[in-house]
Amino acid sequence: MDQMPNCPKCNGEYVYHDTIHFVCPDCGNEWSGEEVAQSSDEFIVKDSNGNQLQDGDSVILIKDLKVKGSSLVLKKGSKAKNIRLVDSDHNVDCKIDGVSLALKSEFLKKA
């Protein structure tokens, strides 16, 4: 690695690497390089209860949701299987009763 990341805590620029950890002299924060790499890639989607969702999970709607651009209303309690997480204005792609839907995880809970 030829460029040091900024400190994730205080955004300090004088980070150095002490063979195992990155160290920030400004705030004393230490963290492993691996964690930094993961957290920059990883995007986490949580349901309404704060449980982390993953591709392939099943979820249940916690409220009635109107589907944009249609008269369809998804009923509270509807179950979506095999969800797919996406990094967009919505964060869960799924199908309910064969209809492809784009949902927000705040209206879902893990089944």
What residues make contact with Zn ion under the rule CB under 5 A?
A: 7, 9-10, 12, 24, 26-27, 29
Closest distance of CB 12 from Zn ion, Å: 4
* Spatial distance between the Cα atoms of 8 and 63, rounded to a whole number of angstroms: 36
> Measured from the CB atom, is 12 or 33 closer to Zn ion?
12
List the strands of the sheet with 92-96, edge to edge: 99-103, 92-96, 79-85, 59-61, 108-110
- At a CB cut-off of 8 Å and minimum separation 6, what does 68 contact? none
Report, in Å, the least distance between residue 16 CB and Zn ion: 11
Residue number with CB closer to Zn ion (29 or 51): 29
Closer residue to Zn ion (CB): 10 or 99: 10
CB of 21 to Zn ion, least distance (A): 12
Angstrom distance (rounded) from CA 7 to CA 74: 44
